[in-house]
Amino acid sequence: MARKLFGTDGIRGKANQEPMTAETALRVAMAAGHRFTRGDHRHLVVIGKDTRLSNYMIEPAMQAGFTAMGMDVVLVGPMPTPAVAMLTLSLRADLGVMISASHNPYEDNGIKLFGPDSFKLSDDVEEEIETLMENGLLDHLAPSNSLGRARRLEDAPGRYIEFVKHSFPRGLRLDGLKVVVDCANGAAYKVAPRVFHELGADVLPMAIEPDGTNINRDCGATATAALQEQVVAHGADLGVALDGDADRVILCDENGAVVDGDQVMAMIARSWQSAGRVTGGGIVATVMSNLGLEKYLESIELNLERSAVGDRYVLERMRAGGFNLGGEQSGHLILSEYSTTGDGLIAALQVLAAKVETDAPMSAFSKVFEPYPQVLKNVRVTERSVMEAPAVQSAVSSGEKKLDGEGRILIRPSGTEPLIRVMAEGLDEDLVTAVVDDIVDAISAVAV
């Protein structure tokens, strides 16, 4: 059975519309609670959230669903997604839940589930949960004397802060560094500034006043203009931008220039390779990562393994190949020595740990490789099969010949919208643009 509710990163949609209604949240909790009931112990689920208005609806609905199945609930309030993964393992919980739509606007919301090992659920387990939802759950309700209880974990922020700080090398400090930290009015608005402050940095926090509707609005990892301006205005050494649930990070240097996830991976890989810490013989990135990253890694004797787009697919490849570093151009960085999911704070600290041992400004330190010109355009379609049309295949073949082995073409359907994404990269930006335009025109002609 193909999954209907779960996508590449849990369930996501417009709040108070299917599938993100209180009723569906209740049923997801009941089904997941039943699926992860194992043995005779008191079962436990950790529930975290970001700062969206709709979480006042989704959180209590899920709490009700879990307690109805006999599971105890620990509520941790607004906390980053990686904090929920960490607490699930630390508390020996049977399940972890993060209620968040990540970098999306406040009108959207989502549900991410973590198993007792603190990893996101597999496609097969998500299908099992959907099957349970469809087949009815009333026969599995807990008897009245076995209902679950709910409590709040008041020291959750402190636990996570210490966890993140322990990823920073002992003996190093951030003294003397001025850092602007953009918390996206999201889940990390309390914990992120404290992490950098307690490690010695002069912290200038921004987007730390969530009101339920301003998460990711003109701030955070997907809207860095305000951060860039603040870094320059305050003469900061660098800026750190998290997204709404703090599982991704984008940096900027002292001049306000953006440093994307590919450069962040390159900086960490360079540091870890010199220390003999890289495992698996390389790193894992998605098909969207720049060819310049791949060429740079070759120069330091590391391979680049590519996965499908989505941090869960990066992690699957990492676990299969024994890699300890992977991520996405968008800023999802997974450092498996520390976390089972993307963690923007830990990734930022690994970069800073390498930087504080040099006198180079961030602008020089972060320019690890020269990116190949990369052009991405979207074509709206009704059928994905247009990619297989002879005219489209001919345009792709023609484009590959024009690039002459000095670039690549990637065509893929969007996982969330009726779009075909056409990307090409190579040494000549004008040529790359022309190649993409030719393929887009071919798809558009067929799609009519």
Fold of 159-257: Alpha-D-Glucose-1,6-Bisphosphate; Chain A, domain 3 (3.40.120)
Task: Give the active site residue among 100, 102, 336, 339.
Answer: 102
What class has domain 261-346+361-365? alpha beta
Specify the DSSP class assigned to residue 308: -
Largest pairwise CA distance in the chain? 71
- pLDDT at res. 2: 65
Average pLDDT of adjacent 10-residue blocks, the chain of 448 residues: 80 96 97 94 97 98 98 98 98 98 96 96 94 88 96 98 97 96 98 98 98 98 97 98 98 98 98 97 96 96 94 93 97 96 97 93 96 94 88 95 93 82 94 96 87
- pLDDT at res. 415: 67
102 is annotated as an active-site residue: yes
Q: Do domains 159-257 and 374-447 have the same CATH topology?
A: no
Specify the DSSP class assigned to residue 175: T
Architecture per CATH, 11-154: 3-Layer(aba) Sandwich (3.40)
Residue pair 261/329 in contact (Cβ under 8 Å)? The answer is yes
- pLDDT at res. 413: 87
Dist. CA 229–CA 381, nearest whole Å? 38
What are the residues whose beta carbons fall under 8 Å from the beta carbon of 134, sequence distance 6 or more?
none
What class has domain 374-447? alpha beta
Amino acid, single-letter form, for residue 181:
V
- pLDDT at res. 261: 96
Dist. CA 288–CA 299, nearest whole Å? 20
- pLDDT at res. 53: 98
Q: 237 by DSSP, 3-state: which?
A: coil
- pLDDT at res. 48: 98
Name the residue among 85, 119, 89 with its Cα closest to residue 100. 85
Domain ranges of the chain: 11-154, 159-257, 261-346+361-365, 374-447
Beta bridge partners of 78: 49
Other C-beta atoms closer than 10 Å to the C-beta of 47 total: 28
